[in-house]
Structure 1
């Protein structure tokens, strides 16, 4: 074997990228099912739902810092220290779909990406516009009164603002059933409460229409400790 070939081989081994340090994993699942994936403890991990935007991630205290990118809807994780152990929780999309997950920390990964495809799931935010007595799988129902889709979009946007401002990452399990808080903006008020979801049954949206002034009702699809968040939107003008 020539000396030139040996030197070239050593250079190739030393300078070739190691594929294990950066990886992209693709997972296909359905809403309400569970997935498992690895996360890096040495670099960032990106979680993306194909054709969907992540609204929030619900879980117990974590060893990972999480940032939800407003422009892409992706979530980025960074190990914050401590003893790396497997963690579980729920991913909730803006279109109302929920996925259970378990993430397993790995020291040999860097710049890790997890791409999740939801099979048989609509990506339209907030669900479709309907009368006040029914709702779709997203848990959001609008008392349309014949108004156009722009009004529905405004109500969906306001409800998201109220959720982010008053609920955030709080699980419903830590709250008492009943009134929790309110949020007002632009002539609208969101009355936020906690409702019982006994035996795993999410209450129907129609039971929260208690006056003609109710414009929209949102019932969270994530059950935590037998409870769910409820947001009732009313007009204050």
Structure 2
């Protein structure tokens, strides 16, 4: 999991109104948490393409969290984006974006979906999950990257006269098979090492400290805003 800080001029998390991105190493999609002024140029300076942006999550409607949103949406339109974009926010922001489009006399060539944050699972992807919890007038976020199975070595399997079929799937998952002659077929030797899942938790309160450490089953990274 790749984590980059996008806010301008500040390099420590002392307030909750900061912007950063989350990207998984094995896919192109980029997720941005808060969209502060200048996050777009910082995104480009760090070697990421804004067209790979798939989701934006806004913690609250503080001006520092949405000041760069309209500029980013306009830039996506200028580069010819056609893929839809999903924005997760505490309340519907469609009216705010429509006013910005009206003021700048522009329209987007892509669809923007607005999702209102609520307690529970908000993003369920094949490779990660994003949860949010509401506590004391603020949201707590948990990003969980799921375990990814390693690449299966097809060439080695063919050299050992293993025919393609359901057996490949079992071997990729690391299962072992014992043959009648005592030969053991170990799936871990035919597959690259699995990518262990990770968890990124974003808190605004110390209330969840103990609960977090006692129940975390993944390699974890804790971020207190």
More helix by share: 2
Give the TM-score band, short-chain normalised: under 0.3
Greater RCO (Cα-Cα under 8 Å, separation 6 or more): 1
More strand by share: 1
Normalized against structure 1, the TM-score is what?
A: 0.23
Normalized against structure 2, the TM-score is what?
A: 0.23
